[in-house]
Amino acid sequence: MELDNDKLDAAALAILSLTLHDGRRVWKGIDWAITDRLYDKGLIENPAGRAKSLVLTEEGLAEAEAVLAGMFGKT
């Protein structure tokens, strides 16, 4: 599958803007409220801890692939 990088870049920028603070600063990571919701939905394993990475569940991986293709695949 070929992806539309312009759509991906726009989505990433929009997600970064959710962490906006101190004028134009944004956090490099995803907002904790989002990871909490993904965990509650069973799409990622428990995000609490010191690791800077997250682990997708099988359902989460399937959902991520479907959304990626549906929203960002080139047509």
Residue pLDDT, tens place only, 11-41: 999 998 988 999 999 988 888 889 999 999 9
**Confidence at residue 61, expressed as pLDDT on a 0 to 100 scale:** 96
For residue 65, pLDDT over 90 is answered with yes
The domain segmentation of the chain, as residue ranges, is 5-72
Letter string b/e over residues 35-66, b meaning 16 or more CB atoms within 10 A of that residue's CB: beebbeeebbeebeeeeeebeeeeebeebeee
Q: Is there a contact between 72 and 8 (Cβ–Cβ < 8 Å)?
A: yes
Residue 2: which pLDDT band, with cuts at 50, 70 and 90?
A: very high
Question: pTM to 2 decimals?
Answer: 0.81
